A = this chain, B = another copy of it.
Amino acid sequence: MTREVLSQIPSLPQQGLFSLFIKHTSAAITINENADPSVLTDFESIFNQIVPENMPFLTHTIEGPDDMPAHIKAAMIGSSITIPITNGRLNLGTWQGIYLCEFRNSGGRRKLVATIYG
């Protein structure tokens, strides 16, 4: 969602930091490979393998089998990213793009807060 984020922010300072924060506990923000869509597919499959639904010892099950795994995945990935700003642009690597990771089956709208420092 790099392009979507960039379209929503004003012009950037010459140097600084860009912080993006998600106001939710079952979705997360990260930076990952932006070129090949198969990365996105495998990203989801691997996290479902590492944090499967219906572990027998879970107690927080009232919101559905996808809820507690979503909290864990969100904690692993994190609720914010920080990207340096250089020469008025996000200083991302060639293959880096911003991902919003939706970990619920039906997550609804998600709210983000961007902060620019320079």
12 contacts between A and B (CB under 8 A): A17-B117, A21-B91, A23-B93, A25-B95, A31-B75, A32-B74, A32-B75, A41-B60, A42-B59, A42-B68, A43-B75, A45-B57
Q: CB of A1 within 8 A of chain B?
A: no
A57 partner residues in chain B, CB cutoff 8 A: 42, 45, 49
A93 partner residues in chain B, CB cutoff 8 A: 22-25, 111
- CB contact between A72 and one of B46, B95, B96 (< 8 Å): that residue: B46
Q: Which residues, 75 to 92 on A, are CB-close (under 8 Å) to B? A: 75-84, 86, 91-92
| A38, B59: Cβ atoms closer than 8 Å | yes
| B71, A33: Cβ atoms closer than 8 Å | yes
Residues 24-40 of A, flagged 1 when their CB comes within 8 A of B and 0 if not, give 11100011111010110
* Count, chain A residues at interface, CB 8 A: 60
Which residues on A are within 8 Å of B, measured CB to CB?
15-17, 19, 21-26, 30-34, 36, 38-39, 41-43, 45-47, 49-51, 55, 57-60, 62, 68-69, 71-72, 74-84, 86, 91-96, 99, 111, 113, 115, 117
Given A25-B32, A72-B46, A93-B24: A60 touches B84 (CB 8 Å cut-off): no
